[in-house]
Amino acid sequence: MEVNKKHGIRRDIDVCQLSLVKKKLTSVPDLSRFHFLRKLWLNNNKIRELSCRSLNCCLTELHLENNSIKSVSGALNHLTCLRLLFLHNNQIRGLEHTMHELRRMQRLHSHEPGFHHHVIHCLPSIQVLDRKEVKPAERRRSFQIYNQDCHRVLQSVAFGRRVS
């Protein structure tokens, strides 16, 4: 991959956005030389295995949609500044593993509908989901759904009842 000098890019440090769309890539290339890379488009390729260790941890937007990715486990958790992540139209299985991978991303926004309460439960720091602010009532509901035993105990203590 050669950075085009006629587009005003003379040094790797000048690259903050990079589009590698429809390049028939089968893996994520080493982009570690682009220290200020913030937005990356790798969509519409043939990427199967995801290894993003060579990506800058300050990346804020990553487009991986329309590939053949089967898992994100161990590939994205260092991208803690990520705000937008597009993974739709892949072959990803195992929602639990995917949620675990995204857990450290404090600024991640979701624009995909579905899995609302599960995402809130697995990513307790998420502030915006499906383009809406996550309300305290939604957090309580997610807690009720995914921590039923703990919720039952808390309810019984709060109202002075005995738990059987």
Distance CA 26, CA 31 (A): 15
pTM of the model: 0.67
Domains of the chain listed by start with CATH number: 5-158 (3.80.10.10)
Going by the DSSP 8-state scheme, the letter that residue 134 receives in this structure is: P
Residue of 42, 94, 87, 83 whose CA lies nearest to 69: 87
Backbone angles phi, psi at 87, to 5 degrees: -125, 5
pLDDT of 7 = 53
Write the pLDDT tens digit of every residue in 122-164.
788 888 876 789 899 988 888 888 776 665 666 666 565 555 5
**What dihedral do alpha carbons 25, 18, 41, 84 form, nearest 10°?**
150
**For residues 105-132, average pLDDT:** 73
Going by the DSSP 8-state scheme, the letter that residue 5 receives in this structure is: G
pLDDT of 114 = 44
pLDDT of 159 = 60
Interacting residues of 14 by C-beta distance below 8 A, sequence separation 6+? 8, 36
Write the pLDDT tens digit of every residue in 45-88.
999 988 877 788 899 999 999 999 999 888 898 898 988 888 88
Strands 17-19 and 84-86: unpaired
Strands 128-129 and 132-133: antiparallel
